[in-house]
Structure 1
Amino acid sequence: MMLSTLKHHHHVTKHKPNSLFSSILTLFSNNCSSLSPSSSSSFPPPSFAISKTDVADTINTWFTTRHQSQDPLLIRIYNILSSDDDFSAALSALSLPLSETFVLRVLRHGGDDGDILSCLKFFDWAGRQPRFYHTRTTFVAIFRILSCARLRPLVFDFLRDFRSCSFPHRARYHDTLVVGYAIAGKPDIALHLLGRMRFQGLDLDGFGYHILLNSLAENNCYNAFDVIANQICMRGYESHMTNVIVIKHLCKQGRLEEAEAHLNGLVGSGKELHRSELSFLIGVLCESNRFERAVELVSEFGTSLPLENAYGVWIRGLVQGGRLDEALEFFRQKRDSEGFVPCKVRYNILIGRLLRENRLKDVYELLMDMNETCIPPNMVTMNAVLCFFCKLGMVDVALELFNSRSQFGLSPNYMAYKYLILTLCWDGCPKEAYRVLRSSSGTGYFPDRRTFSTLANALCRECKIDEMWDLLDFALERRFMPNSSTYSRFVSALCRAGRVEDGYLMRGDLDKVTARFSYAKMIMGFIKSNRGDIAARLLVEMKEKGYELKRSSYRHVLHCLLHMDNPRTRFFNLLEMMTHGKPHCDIFNSFIDGAMHANKPDLAREVFELMQRNGIMTNASSQILVMKSYFRSRRISDALRFFNDIRHQVVVSTKLYNRMIVGLCKSDKADIALELCFEMLKVGLNPSIECYEVLVQKLCSLKRYYEAVNLVNVYEKAGRRLTSFLGNVLLFHSMISPEVYHSCVDLRREKEGEFLDSSMLTLIIGAFSGCLRVSYSIQELEELIAKCFPVDIYTYNLLMRKLTHHDMDKACELFDRMCQRGLEPNRWTYGLMAHGFSNHGRKDEAKRWVHEMLKKGFNPPENTRNVI
């Protein structure tokens, strides 16, 4: 896979005014709140209106300035290498002066720009040209490029091929191997190969020894380091590079005092001090929070260095030590007072760390500074700008720069690709993010697990099925195994897109954590496609794999099977497969439940009887489900027969009695329900609160108030407190009929001594029905009710209904008091208030209440719609 075609940039446009560059962030001034407040700078006011295209064009113009200082031949070579055409013929047509020096120039150019693929292509092409042979130096150059790009496996591939072949050219075979493995971070192999060389009477030169010594220092091979350092001294290879590596070695061991002594020894012996010796020690001191000593060293040895180098060393040390604010302050102070302009490397170090900490204002200021001081950006700067626009939320500008990368030779690095892909996903453009990833394939970039998962999730969310298939293939080609949650989301996306068969084929890639969710999605997908047979197969697979099965899964699958051909056969075949081995009562109950929801009560009864025949103990849940299936199908007589059959077989549980009473009430069989309720009490069972509530409600709806009040009395005699539901039912019906109050009085008179002292409740019912004249205010009445049963929103609605007939101001006070007590007004509350104001001729206030009701998301009741 190749990079996108690079077109040669024949001319460089003139700089647009700096005012345009200064206006970049003003275009998105609303983003300022997300920027770090640590920078004292503020964005300049816009001198004229600009568009995002202007921003991208301005950055493009700045980026193209880097070509002005570069060799046009090198630019031409890399344009050819980056094209999709036959680059070999095009390079041959240039008649390049191939030599070790020229090849190194070309590789260095590509390495600085991070164009790894083009470097590899040129290296391969040059090695196949007649009369040119790669040398150890050219091999080392390509090894370093690959190692810096974190592509060490490619270095190992090179070395493996190099060891297995014979080369009729001038490359020093053993030297190349030793140096190659040292650069690749394998100093143990390099030492072994050096030993073989020495056995054959061969030896490394000074260059090779220093690369090996540096590798030993980097990989903390302390003993071997001392041996090789002695060898370098013995052979007279000691140089400036030796000093740098020794100081690095001492610093990595934490021997900082010895490193300082070594520096003092160099200065004392009159040797010229380079920046590298000091910068490494300063960086380690800053990382160790020994900033005072670092300052002293900069002052002490800085005079031995050029001004720019000394300042640069200090800035780098502060950044490495995490003292970013001090580094910026030092930079600004020296810039303003001494005109100090650091090299682009120092700018890049500062910009990179500021980007990492999301200090975008400071990044912007440094980019402005680079532009105004005419420092052409290098590849690191260009990638930082790409990341900057992504972090700023201007992903369209970043994408425009990415699409125009061929104009200025931009080769995005790992971070630029990552930020661009992530930002596009977060911006709702997963397809564009995927295109960016595919365009990066030739560079060797592959996202980390988080970036890959974010892209995959975004594609799945948008149901980009084809792109998702391609992404999975792309990952597997690179031996990257997506996690199970990615497959799970993809299966879900396939089901949403109606491609459940494809999801079914992928189920083997799911682990136990995510598989249950994905299986449920596939089951629903096949059910929507009327493929209950495959849905049933998935249900069996879930059971075999030990996944938790919810009753709703059985319900959906069975409903689908029972609406296919041969429903009974399919139903019992699935039951047999699910109960194979160790039949469990819960599985049978799930099938009874499925038959109930499919309105197949006979099938539910048949499963119940199958349990009994096979000696599987039925429980109360099994009995209740069968009975509910009869009630659901309005087969009340069958429900009663089933109940009586159970009564003759075993002692009926309280749960079954309760469910029977509730079912009979809902089926308008109040007499039988009442009879069963008293039967329960007779045998010493206590009906549930729900039984009393539905019975009292049903009796009141039939205007059988005497029986309802009597049942409430029985309920209270059992030592239970009146519930809000029971109290509200009595109050509501007392407003409809005075018979509720009369029933209370008659029952108390008839059963004097047995009737509980409910005079307070009787009083409240009398007040609500209008049978009693009381002097209580509505607030006092509210307090009396609270002593009888807990007051809820329904109780307040009843009080409000009473108030709205004669006093809307008091009704408003009651509304406020209700809200203060934490109760949330409902649709009926607002309807009562609006209707009350309307009846009192206060139309404007009525409309305000209706509008408030609409704002809360409630639909106005019929009697208030004429108010709008």
Structure 2
Amino acid sequence: MSLMLGYLEDYAKNRRGSHNYHTILVMGYAVAGKPEFALQLFGRMRYQGIDLDVFAYHVLLNALVEGNYYDGVEAVSNQIKSRGFESEVTHSILIKSFCRKKEFDRAETYLRRVMEGEVKIKGGGYIVGALVDGLCKDEQFDRAGKLVDEFGEFHVYDIWIRELVRARKLDGAMEFLHKTRNVVQYVPDLFRYNTLIIRLLRENRLEEVCDLIIEMRESNIPPDELTMNTVLCFFCKGGMVDIALRLYDSRGQIGLSLSSMAFNYLMNTLCGDGSVVDAYRILKNALEQGYFPGVPTFSVLAHALCKLEKLDMMNELFHVALENNVVLSDRIHEIYIQALCRTGRVEDGYYIHGELNRLNKVTTGCAYNSLINGFIKSNRADIAVRLLIEMQEKGHTPSRQLFRTVIQSVCETENPEKQFQRLLEMQLSLHEIDCGVFNIFIEGAGLAKKPDLANEVYQMMKRSGISPNVTSDILLLRSYLRGEKVSDGLHFFHNILERRAIGRKVFNTLIIGLCKANKPDIALSYFTNIRAKEKTVRPSLECYEELIYVLCNHKRYDKILDVIDDLIDVGRPLSSFIGNNLLLHSLKDRELYDTWVDSRPPTELTQPESSHIWRLREVVGLFSDRFRDDISIDDLEQVVRNCFPLDIYTYNMLLRKLCAKQVDDADKLFDTLCPKGYEPNQWTYETMVHGFYKHGRKDHAKLLLKEMVQRGFRPSEVTSALL
């Protein structure tokens, strides 16, 4: 408005004396929202004997009503009447004035006087419409409805429907529309239909929307693009993908041209619903018709195609994007390469990587990881090495796990020494030389069971003037033991002792490595000697677990008890892993319990029941069938729980114990596993199947076997042969 007022001021200064000078200024200020200026100018005009034309009078009158200058309204309306300019426009404006002042009775009286007057009004519908509009805005719908019924004209109907829709009285609007259509054959214009359709869609009244669209076609009012695009968007928003797709497919019949918003809505909905084939078809149609969607639409479809592994379509989409100079986001390229590698198409992933390099786009670190791991699985360590170096040159930092995997892969090639040395030299050229780089290579060689290579790196580190740290010693020691070079490992361990005091980590590495190398006697000897000399060295829980595990496997039950004593003395908890091993060997062999009783001092039998050793001996005795024949489920659970935490493997032991003589109790315990939060595994099912079969309940066994297969487990050969 400030621009218009500036124009009027300029006009007043420079165009004085021109034709219709005063009329233009009066109308200008009236339209610009300055009716007080317009009224002053009108007064000057009348003083000078100049008058307004009929149009200007009504512009001024309407502006005074809009600005609430009701005194001026009465004066100007009298002037209009005295000059014979009075018309349906005058009456409509005056009724609007009465409505603004809440003088609805006066407005209705005025309306009836005009409508019943001797002068026939051509546009009576506009006059009635003004009062209906005012009443509806004052929430007097009942009174307005009576006027609509009494003075029904099409213009009044338009206003009535508009106000019903505005007030969200959709039932009333639909009822009125059907009634008038059948009686007086009233057909709203396209704008009214669109307004009603949009409001119905917002309230998810989709069937009525369909009825309205059909009604529009029958009335020869074809829905415009706004209507159809709005309907399509709301169908998508409401999750009615099938209907939205049918509407899209019939676009040629109804002349629908999709807006960009409707297109994006449809694409997003189809991708979210998993209908990526339809989404891809729609995108191709759009491209063929010359419409090119934005990057977000490409990204949404690309993400969905990769997620559902529709990689051939994704390949086409990638090339379409390249042809149209659309560069997808790094995240999309990443998930595309990951999907290709995941499905064994690592060469295709490498091609995409090459295309990104051509576009000067840096492949993400996660995509590099996928490519490297993919080539390792394909036994292409040479390309994996090349990519590992390249990703570092591009600014990415490979994880330690990735380094280890690549090094391990190199060590498993036909000529590992040469490639291993080349990779090490390249890695040293990229980084400042320190223990960290050498340690990764020692670890990788150890994982590949190449202790000689690991030692070569260790010696190279020393020749480079770098003193190996504790981690270096641990990794090389682990490499020797994992590579089954136990004597070399023990020699190196003594070499470590000459250079540094024995620490917990080195001690744990030695004992765990010897256990995994299946050398229980050597492991126990070093464990006992070091524990006797170095009381401050506190073994880890894993150290105890591995030692007890290997001693159990070799039936060195007399030694197990000493290790358990030591575990309790240092304050370590009895883990589920240790407890489950003891339960397993108690079930398999009564010798564990007999050895326990024979080798323990008599004083242990008199220890209080709350002691760890007493409770553990009780559990071993129960599982060795040394006590009563049967025991309740709850008691059995509680006895075990008093010793160590229960897991699904513990419950498998409990089931195996119960299946021997109490298969019904085993069945009850099995039914409680899921409610307790434990997920049965294959061993759980096999234990129950064998238990039922041994007790002659083959039907139960077959039912459980069927459930086992449905859960995705594959029965063992023994179980399959059994049934």
TM-score (structure 2 length as normaliser)? 0.72
After superposition, what is the alpha-carbon deviation per residue over 1:676-724, rounded to whole angstroms, capped at 9, x for unaligned?
3221453121111222122122112212111112221222233444333
Q: CA deviation at 1:754?
A: 12
Structural mapping, 1:373-384, within 5 Å = 373-383=219-229
Provide the C-alpha distance between the structure 2 equivalents of 1:276 and 1:453, rounded to a whole number of angstroms.
Answer: 55
Provide the C-alpha distance between the structure 2 equivalents of 1:522 and 1:790, rounded to a whole number of angstroms.
Answer: 41
C-alpha contact 1:319 1:353 (8 A) present in aligned 2: yes
Identify the residue that residue 533 of structure 2 maps to in structure 1: 682
Identify the residue that residue 311 of structure 1 maps to in structure 2: 157
Identify the residue that residue 520 of structure 1 maps to in structure 2: 369
C-alpha contact 2:33 2:67 (8 A) present in aligned 1: no
C-alpha contact 2:391 2:397 (8 A) present in aligned 1: no
Go from structure 1 to structure 2 and tell me whether the alpha carbon gap of 1:773 and 1:460 turns closer, same or farther (over 3 Å shift).
Answer: closer
Go from structure 1 to structure 2 and tell me whether the alpha carbon gap of 1:242 and 1:837 turns closer, same or farther (over 3 Å shift).
Answer: farther
C-alpha contact 1:843 1:867 (8 A) present in aligned 2: no
Identify the residue that residue 565 of structure 2 maps to in structure 1: 713
C-alpha contact 1:484 1:510 (8 A) present in aligned 2: no
Identify the residue that residue 667 of structure 1 maps to in structure 2: 517
Identify the residue that residue 428 of structure 1 maps to in structure 2: 276
Specify which of 800, 819, 823 is matched with residue 655 of structure 2: 800
Structural mapping, 1:709-788, within 5 Å = 709-749=561-601, 758-772=613-627, 777=632, 779-788=634-643
TM-score (structure 1 length as normaliser)? 0.61
Secondary structure at 2:444's aligned position in 1? helix
Instruction: Answer yes or no: is 1:369 the counterpart of 2:215.
Output: yes
Q: CA deviation at 1:350?
A: 2.2
Identify the residue that residue 686 of structure 2 maps to in structure 1: 831
Specify which of 245, 255, 264 is matched with residue 418 of structure 1: 264
Equivalent residue letter for 2:640: I
C-alpha contact 1:398 1:420 (8 A) present in aligned 2: no
Structural mapping, 1:65-104, within 5 Å = none
Instruction: Answer yes or no: is 1:343 the counterpart of 2:189.
Output: yes
Go from structure 1 to structure 2 and tell me whether the alpha carbon gap of 1:332 and 1:518 turns closer, same or farther (over 3 Å shift).
Answer: farther
Go from structure 1 to structure 2 and tell me whether the alpha carbon gap of 1:396 and 1:264 turns closer, same or farther (over 3 Å shift).
Answer: farther
Go from structure 1 to structure 2 and tell me whether the alpha carbon gap of 1:295 and 1:845 turns closer, same or farther (over 3 Å shift).
Answer: closer
Go from structure 1 to structure 2 and tell me whether the alpha carbon gap of 1:335 and 1:708 turns closer, same or farther (over 3 Å shift).
Answer: same
Provide the C-alpha distance between the structure 2 equivalents of 1:681 and 1:264, rounded to a whole number of angstroms.
Answer: 115
Greater RCO (Cα-Cα under 8 Å, separation 6 or more):
1
Provide the C-alpha distance between the structure 1 equivalents of 2:233 and 2:391, rounded to a whole number of angstroms.
Answer: 48
Structural mapping, 1:390-539, within 5 Å = 391-394=240-243, 397-402=246-251, 404=252, 410-423=256-269, 425=271, 426=273, 427-429=275-277, 430-441=279-290, 447=293, 450-458=296-304, 462-463=310-311, 464-474=314-324, 476=326, 482-490=328-336, 492=338, 496=345, 498-506=348-356, 515-524=364-373, 530-532=382-384, 534-539=386-391
Identify the residue that residue 120 of structure 1 maps to in structure 2: none
Number of equivalenced pairs: 648
C-alpha contact 2:389 2:427 (8 A) present in aligned 1: no
Q: CA deviation at 1:520?
A: 2.9
Go from structure 1 to structure 2 and tell me whether the alpha carbon gap of 1:658 and 1:291 turns closer, same or farther (over 3 Å shift).
Answer: farther
Q: CA deviation at 1:664?
A: 0.8
Go from structure 1 to structure 2 and tell me whether the alpha carbon gap of 1:204 and 1:783 turns closer, same or farther (over 3 Å shift).
Answer: farther
Go from structure 1 to structure 2 and tell me whether the alpha carbon gap of 1:549 and 1:645 turns closer, same or farther (over 3 Å shift).
Answer: same
Structure 1: runs of 5+ lacking an equivalent:
1-181, 283-289
Provide the C-alpha distance between the structure 1 equivalents of 2:325 and 2:88, rounded to a whole number of angstroms.
Answer: 52
C-alpha contact 1:273 1:305 (8 A) present in aligned 2: no
C-alpha contact 1:319 1:327 (8 A) present in aligned 2: yes
Provide the C-alpha distance between the structure 2 equivalents of 1:522 and 1:572, rounded to a whole number of angstroms.
Answer: 20
Choose 1 or 2 for highest CA Rg.
2
Equivalent residue letter for 2:507: Y
C-alpha contact 2:299 2:332 (8 A) present in aligned 1: yes
Identity %: 33
C-alpha contact 1:601 1:626 (8 A) present in aligned 2: yes
Residues 720-729 or 503-512, more deviating: 503-512
C-alpha contact 1:424 1:433 (8 A) present in aligned 2: no
Q: CA deviation at 1:432?
A: 1.0
C-alpha contact 1:523 1:538 (8 A) present in aligned 2: no
Output the aligned Cα RMSD.
5.5
After superposition, what is the alpha-carbon deviation per residue over 1:421-479, rounded to whole angstroms, capped at 9, x for unaligned?
4455452224312213214436xxx5466434323434555333233332354365xxx
Identify the residue that residue 625 of structure 1 maps to in structure 2: 475
After superposition, what is the alpha-carbon deviation per residue over 1:486-523, rounded to whole angstroms, capped at 9, x for unaligned?
444455567657152442442698999x9333333444
Equivalent residue letter for 1:695: L
C-alpha contact 1:319 1:350 (8 A) present in aligned 2: yes
Go from structure 1 to structure 2 and tell me whether the alpha carbon gap of 1:806 and 1:345 turns closer, same or farther (over 3 Å shift).
Answer: same
Provide the C-alpha distance between the structure 2 equivalents of 1:419 and 1:837, rounded to a whole number of angstroms.
Answer: 57
Specify which of 632, 648, 662 is matched with residue 498 of structure 2: 648
Residues 650-659 or 770-779, more deviating: 770-779
Go from structure 1 to structure 2 and tell me whether the alpha carbon gap of 1:356 and 1:525 turns closer, same or farther (over 3 Å shift).
Answer: farther
